[in-house]
Amino acid sequence: MTFSLAGRCTGAMGGVIATSSPAVGARCLYARAEVGVVLTQNRTDPRLGPRGLRLLADGCSPAATLAALLASTPHAGWRQLAVLDRIGEAAHHSGHNIRSRHQGVIGRNCVAAGNILRTDAVPGAMVRAFEDAEGDDLPARLLAALEAGDAAGGEVLSLRSSALLVVWEEAFPYADLRVDAAPNPIAALRALWDEYAPHADDYVRRALDPDSCGPPASYSTFRAVWCGSNTLVDQIKATLGHPLSAVQAGDWAGTRTHPTGQRLPTVPRQRSPERPTRVGHVLHRPQPAHI
């Protein structure tokens, strides 16, 4: 009920996947920077993903990693697995209990696998699309492979979810995007990447060197909206009871300073008279007025 591909280029690694069940990205796709990628699907055992990455990190080849994973589970006949290492070598397995049409194909710096496929051509089409897109960035190549697999027939059942995972240098993913439930999850994943891509490098920069980052691109829009006139905003202002349109930096309590030196207004927190307050290390709850 799944088709997927793991691939690498210029130090980055990752995978892409789509299926007819929800939230496929939560249990089938695993990757670690400078180590490799593991795909685990068809009556999925999510334990095999992290286990495979540990074996790759310890120096096992994809073939040895796959053999160890199969030896570690009594249900290897139900599993479909694919393993890719940091230098582009790969291995795959489809268990003998998989009754649907299934296939696995190894390509140049990639491996694709699928089950409950409409045609045997799906993994091969994914590999060719990935190889033909050489020169593009890795997320673009992975998405091209997923779209090619769908165009070649994809899965027999209607697709429900998809995921894109890319790792590069750092311990956290460069991109970890998921469409957990949608009528057209591949198109939704493409749209999500198109929205995320312009910010991807900046998100890494914010983690590694936050002092070098300027204000968010939306800051000027934020100021224009909150300090201008807008029907919805005016309703919010009236509800809050603060003349936000007249607010200037430092005019009211609750301002904060952005790293660029600009003063950003924030809505003051109004403490409920019945809300407990902390006095020293003792929680003090206000008593009713009649006591």
Spelled out in words, what is the top-level CATH class assigned to the domain 2-211?
Answer: alpha beta
Identify the residue with better confidence: 227 or 183: 183
- Distance in angstroms (rounded) separating the CA atoms of residues 222 and 194: 23
Closest CA to 56 of 14, 78, 85, 28: 85
Burial 11-22 (b: 16+ CB within 10 A, else e): ebbbbbbbbbee
Q: How confident is the model at residue 71 (pLDDT cuts 50, 70, 90)?
A: very high
Question: Would the CA dihedral through 214, 174, 221, 256 be positive or negative?
Answer: negative
Instruction: Find the mean pLDDT for residues 159-171.
Output: 97
* pLDDT higher than threshold 50 for residue 148: yes
State both tokens at 287.
Answer: 């008593």
Cβ(211)–Cβ(199) under 8 Å?
no
First to last CA, the chain: 66
Q: Does position 98 have pLDDT exceeding 90, yes or no? A: yes
- Give the residue ranges of DSSP H helices in the chain: 48-57, 62-71, 121-132, 138-151, 185-208, 219-226, 231-240
Q: What sign for the dihedral angle of Cα 110, 116, 122, 124?
A: positive
Number of neighbours of residue 27 by Cβ within 10 angstroms: 16
Instruction: Please tell me whether residue 228 adopts helix, strand or coil conformation.
Output: coil
Gap between the Cα atoms of 107 and 90, Å rounded: 8
SS3 5: strand
Q: Where in the chain is the domain with CATH 3.60.20.10?
A: 2-211
Residue 276 has pLDDT above 60, yes or no: no
Average pLDDT over residues 212-236: 59
Q: What is the mean pLDDT of the chain?
A: 84
pTM of the model: 0.76
Q: Is the pLDDT of residue 188 over 90?
A: yes
CA 67 – CA 93 distance, rounded (Å)? 9
pLDDT, tens digit, 9 for 90 and up, residues 2-58: 999 999 998 899 999 999 999 999 999 999 999 999 999 999 999 999 999 999 999
Token digits of residue 53: 């990455």
According to the model, what pLDDT value does residue 238 have? 64
Q: What pLDDT score was predicted for residue 277?
A: 42
Mode of pairing for the β-strands spanning 256-257 and 277-279? unpaired
Q: How far is CA 273 from CA 100, 183, 238, 240, 279, in A?
A: 64, 48, 21, 17, 15
Crossing angle for the helix pair 138-151 and 185-208, to the nearest 10 degrees: 170
* Orientation of helix 48-57 relative to helix 62-71, angle to 10°: 140
Q: Express as a percent the part of the chain with pLDDT over 90.
A: 71
pLDDT of 168 above 60: yes
Q: What is the pLDDT of residue 207?
A: 94
Round to whole Å and give the CA distance between 245 and 242.
9
User: What is the model's pLDDT at position 213?
Assistant: 83
For residue 217, the model assigns a pLDDT of 57
Which pair of structure tokens corresponds to residue 230?
């807008």
pLDDT band at 255 (very low <50, low <70, confident <90, very high): very low
Least-confidence region, from 101-110, 133-142, 248-257, 258-267: 248-257
Average pLDDT over residues 190-208: 96
Structure confidence at residue 239 as a pLDDT band (50, 70, 90): low
Residue 117: how many other CB atoms lie within 10 Å:
23
Tokens 């960035």 sit on residue: 137
